[in-house]
């Protein structure tokens, strides 16, 4: 979000500084599944989740985990989150997410087009692997919403599955393949390359942590950081799940939690997929990347402070081996990151009042997918050249009562 916004602001003629506590591409953005998931407009909170959730939590074959010691703290957020698990709200959320994700590949291409970084964006099918027809039909509701957004899958069945994806297990009896998707073979490297291009065009990057805003005149005039004050006329907050405490300083209490995600990179792997593949039984994506095969996904509710759990990683290993039985690697790299999850599954995009502080966070599972589009929208707002798009659903003040 931050680097995309900075590049679009720079193209519009602004003098832009990025402030990042660890440097671009070093945080959560480097650990995702790498998919430009244009059809990812359906939220986790689909109808029936409230009834299913307890069984999911106690099912060792389902990728949903909860740090029980964290339950008292997360309970208020969880109640609001689950309140959207109905048909009307699911359709509303899907309708509002669609403009952020459906043109993801073209938005990424637009972002890199003048930067000499076109090779970073790989066009491909995005596949969903199911054991059989019944497993595919069990997700009919979700597929209907994807079709409503213009995404009709090509269904590959029986022996054609292995012709299409030679390394996949014979236990996979159906693949639903979506066209007009893509992926990034090294998400962290991609963000770093974008940041270097931003610098080469005159942008400035400061490695520091922002501590507070100077709104003494009613409008932003500067930021207090760990290395001193940075003056500014406008500020864009794009710090993912860490945006919540910053928003409190601006007087807004955002119902935002970390939905912890895991990945395992199988280094120098052979026997993996040829294209990004969602393993439906495990709700994770296996993606061929420059470093090897990355298996990324899982939902764990456990906050920001606790270390990684063994169970999600063991689950990933088990399902990866089941789906790609010939997968071999020289080493494995484990990772845990934090998805910023608002209770309504919609990002926060807009200006906070007339403060000159703009928000670009809260993208849940679609951070990489929706980054360039969000950056373009926010840059338009900052430069007072807004896009012809209703952004009401993403308003940062929408949680005020």
Domain ranges of the chain: 1-394
**Of 310, 177, 289, residue with least CA distance to 298:** 310
Phi, psi angles (nearest 5°) of residue 362: 90, 30
Contact 363, 348 (CB under 8 A): no
Given a cut of 70, whether residue 190 has pLDDT beyond it is yes
The pLDDT of 376-396, averaged and rounded, is: 96
More confident residue, 55 or 87: 87
Contacts of 392 (CB under 8 A, 6+ apart): none
Above pLDDT 90, what percent of the chain?
Answer: 93
Can you name the residues that pair with 204 across neighbouring β-strands? 17
Measured CA angle at 184 (ends 63, 299), to 5 deg: 15
Instruction: Give first-to-last CA distance, the chain, whole Å.
Output: 27
CB-facing half-sphere around the CA of 297: CA atoms within 13 A: 25
Average pLDDT, the chain: 96
Phi, psi angles (nearest 5°) of residue 141: -60, -45
Least confident of 59-68, 320-329, 348-357: 59-68
**Dihedral over Cα of 137, 78, 64, 55: its sign:** negative
Question: Which class is domain 1-394?
Answer: alpha beta
15-38 pLDDT, tens digit each: 999 999 988 988 888 899 999 999
What's the pTM? 0.96
């Amino acid at each position: 979000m931050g680097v995309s916004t900075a590049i679009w602001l720079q193209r519009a003629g602004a003098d832009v500084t990025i402030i990042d506590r660890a440097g671009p591409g070093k945080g959560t953005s480097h650990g995702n599944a790498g998919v430009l998931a244009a059809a990812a407009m359906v939220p986790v909170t689909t109808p029936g989740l409230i009834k299913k959730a307890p069984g999911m939590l106690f099912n060792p074959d389902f990728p949903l985990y909860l740090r029980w010691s964290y339950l008292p703290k997360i309970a208020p957020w969880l109640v609001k989150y689950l309140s959207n698990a109905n048909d009307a709200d699911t359709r509303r959320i899907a309708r509002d997410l669609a403009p952020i994700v459906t043109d993801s590949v073209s938005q990424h291409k637009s972002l890199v087009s003048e930067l000499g970084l076109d090779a970073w964006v790989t066009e491909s099918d995005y596949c969903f692997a199911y054991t059989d027809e019944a497993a595919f039909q069990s997700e009919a509701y979700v597929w209907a919403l994807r079709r409503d957004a213009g995404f009709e899958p090509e269904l590959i069945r029986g022996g054609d599955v292995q012709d299409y994806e030679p390394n996949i297990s014979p236990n996979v009896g159906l693949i639903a393949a979506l066209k007009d998707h893509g992926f990034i073979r090294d998400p962290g490297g991609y963000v770093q390359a974008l940041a270097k291009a931003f610098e080469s065009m005159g942008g400035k990057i400061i490695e520091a942590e922002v501590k507070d805003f100077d709104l003494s005149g009613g409008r932003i005039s500067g930021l207090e950081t760990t290395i001193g004050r940075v003056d500014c006329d406008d500020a864009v907050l794009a710090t993912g799940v860490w945006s919540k405490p910053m928003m409190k300083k601006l007087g807004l209490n955002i119902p935002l939690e970390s939905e912890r995600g895991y990945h395992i990179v199988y280094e120098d792997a052979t026997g993996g997929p040829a294209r990004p593949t969602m393993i439906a039984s495990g709700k994770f994506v296996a993606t061929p990347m420059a470093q090897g095969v990355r298996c990324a996904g899982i939902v764990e509710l456990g906050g920001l402070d606790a270390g990684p759990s063994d169970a999600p990683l063991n689950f990933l290993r088990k399902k990866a081996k089941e789906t790609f039985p010939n997968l071999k690697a020289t080493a494995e790299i484990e990772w845990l990151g934090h998805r910023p999850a608002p209770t309504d599954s919609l990002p926060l995009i807009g200006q906070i009042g007339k403060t000159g502080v703009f928000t670009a966070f809260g993208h849940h599972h679609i951070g990489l997918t929706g980054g360039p589009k969000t950056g373009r929208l926010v840059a338009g707002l900052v430069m007072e050249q807004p896009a012809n798009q209703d952004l009401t659903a993403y308003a940062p003040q929408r949680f005020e009562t």
